[in-house]
Structure 1
Amino acid sequence: MKAVAETGRALPSAERVNIPRTRRYRPYLILLPAFLLTAGILYPFGVAIYYSLTNFSFKYEKFSFVGLENWVDMFRDPGFWHSLWITAKYALLATGAEMVIGVGIALLLNRETRLARSLRIVLIFPLMIAPVIATLIWQLMINYSVGVIGHGLRWIGITDFTWAADPDTALFTVVLIDAWVYTPFVILLTLAGLRSLPKAPFESAMIDGGSAWFTFRNLTLPMILPFLLIALVFRLMVSLQEFSIIFALTSGGPGDTLMTLPLTAYTEGFTYKELGYALPHMLVLWLIVFIASRILIKYWSRAQGRASGVEEGTT
């Protein structure tokens, strides 16, 4: 400012600030990985949209643009609506079971005893196993002849439980395996939330004679809600896209009992070789995941504000 006052003119930018060239380009270098990651995501997404508007097939060398024909055929297909219903039902049942069981176990393990410390280590093991391997393990365990679960059911008099071989119990079987694999994820996040809670409010509630249910409903649950919503977002997104457990267990059967959107898209694209018709199924699934995650993240932001004592709309 002094130089401007004495000379009556502003100094050129090179005279005002002598910034090395490496420092001038540093912000762009920092943003470069994010740009490459964004491009790596958007390019395949754009290609998928383009091919969903064509009759591209692995059976033929040439393909042509058909507009919304694949989309119209998909919405007219009863199999699409069946797979959409199975996808939603599977995701809601699996995620709901994992959230309820995970929160319950986390509350039981939130204490410093030798048993609790041992169980916290043991319960992490299913997360270290690939879902396909976990499915093969469960196939052995529920086997009627040699499986430990099958033997246990026979011991209590149940000899005709058909597990994944029956349309009435196939969904229960895959949800059970999914819960076994992924419930530890919910347990870990819930335990992290419980360990981060301040002790003063709970000590005050104990002095005032508050019951365990009162403390959980009015103190524990509101404070750990952001952690629960994070777990819910991740688990719901993965459950909506679940492929490996169902494919490894029944390949979508018996019949079309477990034909979710990912399995339907896989069947259309790689069994029937009609990739142009398969892609709209995956794009619909992407839209469902996007909308669900946006809604849950919005609730997470509100819960985070309430847990930290900041009301929505304040700064």
Structure 2
Amino acid sequence: MSTTVTGRTHEPAPVQEEPERPPSVPAWRRKARPYVLSIPAVLIIAGILYPFFLGAYYGVLNYSAINPEPIFVGLENFARVLTDSQFWGSVRVTLVFAVVATGAEMVLGVGVALLLNRASRVGRIFERVLILPLMVAPVIAGVIWGLMYNPQFGVLNYVFGLGSTFNWLSTDLALWSVILVDIWIFTPFVAILVLAGIRSLPRDPFEASEVDGASWFYTFRRLTLPMIWPYILVAVIFRFMDCLKIFDHIYVLTAGGPGAATRTLQIGAYEDSIINLNYSLGSTYMFLLWILVFITARYLVSVLGKAQRRAAGAEG
């Protein structure tokens, strides 16, 4: 029904229907939802911690194939390993491998990233080809390089004219040869990570440096390197931790030999646990390796945190 006031007709406002409310969720379901969503993470953590604590437990027993009913021996296995010269030889090989491989991969990776950052058609093609080594499993890469290292029909001896007597996997060269394989596989990982960091940098400082006539080396040393340092440290953490635990392509190429030239801690744990069937001694090797990895990771993460704060201007 309409009403007229001072000659104007006012229609009644339409009645708006209230929107349908979603059905209320019971309180117990709201409280249980975080716990249900955390179940996959709890299962993953349990799957990681159970073998870790089981290995630590084996480390204080004398469990082996000839002693299927082990007894508690305390720290006897640790004392035996820490007084074994072969263990310290494995520590030396592991650290040399990790330091040399990681350092070479950082230098080459940063260099490749800087080259790829220059816009060109060749660079774009090479950027897509670069990822190919990462798509090859380390075991397969070990088989391929083993064929290339073969003294009789290997392509490397033929290309470099070394004849059929030069052995890339001899006692003196085996460690450096397996380091070369690791560099070939994982340098693209470092290059891709650093390249992503370079492309995320602000352009204003570089444009100002170019206007001021700064050289390329000065710009790299004063601007590029300090700003991408956190990305480089992330790559160092990933690669150094992985190198400390290296096993696959070393075992395929040399199985820890010749002698003990490439016997890393992982190889030593494999020999004691799988070949010699001394499970407690192999677990001791792995627990000591974990301690080494844990201490190194804590230190590198602290360095990364300082570098990130410095890059953000939080500290000088």
Q: TM-score, normalised by structure 2?
A: 0.89
1:238 matches 2:245: no
Q: Does 1:130 align with 2:104?
A: no
Quick one: distance in 2 between partners of 1:34 and 1:117?
39
Match of 2:251 in 1: 247
Quick one: distance in 1 between partners of 2:107 and 2:269? 31
1:148 positional shift: 2.2
Which residue does 1:140 correspond to in 2?
Answer: 147
Are 1:96 and 2:103 matched, yes or no? yes
Alignment length (residue pairs): 293
Q: 2:38 corresponds to which residue?
A: 31
Alpha-carbon distance in 2 for matches of 1:33, 1:142: 45
Q: Which position in structure 1 is the counterpart of 2:89?
A: 82
Q: Confirm or deny that 1:283 pairs with 2:287.
A: yes
3-state secondary structure, aligned to 1:163: coil
1:12-91 to 2 correspondences below 5 Å = 20-91=27-98
- What code does the residue aligned with 2:151 have? Y
| Selected match of 1:163 from 158, 164, 168 | 168
For residues 245-272 of structure 1, the C-alpha deviation after alignment (integer angstroms, 9 at most, x for no partner) is 1100011111111111110111011111
Q: Does 2:189 align with 1:185?
A: yes
Question: Does 53-62 or 302-311 show the bigger shift?
Answer: 302-311
1:241 corresponds to which letter in structure 2?
A: K
Q: What SS does the aligned partner of 2:173 have?
A: helix
Q: Distance in 1 between matches of 2:291 and 2:52?
A: 12
Offset at 1:59?
3.0
For residue 217 of structure 1, the aligned residue among 212, 218, 221 is 221
Read off the aligned partner of 2:208 and give its amino acid letter: S
Contact (CA 8 Å) 2:151, 2:168: kept in 1 or not?
no
Q: CA deviation at 1:176?
A: 0.3
Residues 126, 184 of structure 1: 8 Å contact kept: yes
Residues 161-185 of structure 1, C-alpha deviations (whole Å, 9 max, x = no match): 3211x21111110000000011110
8 Å Cα contact 1:145/1:151 also seen in 2: no
Choose between structure 1 and 2: higher helix proportion.
1
User: C-alpha separation between the residues in 2 aligned to 1:228 and 1:28?
Assistant: 37
Residue matched to 2:16: none
- Is 2:146–2:253's contact at 8 Å kept on the other side of the alignment? yes
Q: 1 CA distance for matches of 2:166 and 2:110?
A: 29
Q: Give the C-alpha shift of residue 217 in structure 1.
A: 0.9
Which residue of the partner structure matches residue 198 of structure 1?
202
Q: CA deviation at 1:160?
A: 4.6
Per mean C-alpha deviation after superposition, the further-off stretch among 21-30 and 67-76 is 21-30
**TM-score normalized by the length of structure 1:** 0.89
Measured in 2, the distance between the counterparts of 1:263 and 1:201 equals 48
Equivalent position amino acid for 1:163 in 2: W
Q: What is aligned with 2:267?
A: 263
Q: Which runs of 5+ in 1 are unaligned?
A: 1-17
- Look up the SS of the partner of 2:44 in the other structure: helix
Q: Is the 8 A contact 1:84 1:260 kept in 2?
A: yes
Matched, 1:120 2:127: yes
Identity %: 46
2:149, 2:167 within 8 Å by CA — same for their partners in 1? no
RMSD (Å) for aligned C-alpha atoms = 1.7
Select between 26-35 and 172-181 the one with higher mean Cα deviation. Answer: 26-35
Shift of 1:39: 2.0
Conservation of the 8 A alpha-carbon contact between 2:193 and 2:235: yes
- Residue 149 (1) aligns with residue 156 (2): yes
SS at match of 2:107: helix
The structure that has the greater radius of gyration is 2
Per the TM alignment, residue 149 of structure 1 is displaced from its structure 2 partner at its CA by: 1.6
1:158 deviates by 6.3
Query: Which segments of structure 1 move beyond 6 Å, counting only runs of 4 or more?
Result: none
Given residue 125 of structure 1, which amino acid in structure 2 is its aligned partner? L
Counterpart CA distance in 2 for 1:159 and 1:115 is: 37
User: Take 1:261 and 1:141, find their aligned partners in 2: how far apart are those partners?
Assistant: 26
Name which of 174, 178, 183 aligns with 2:178.
Answer: 174
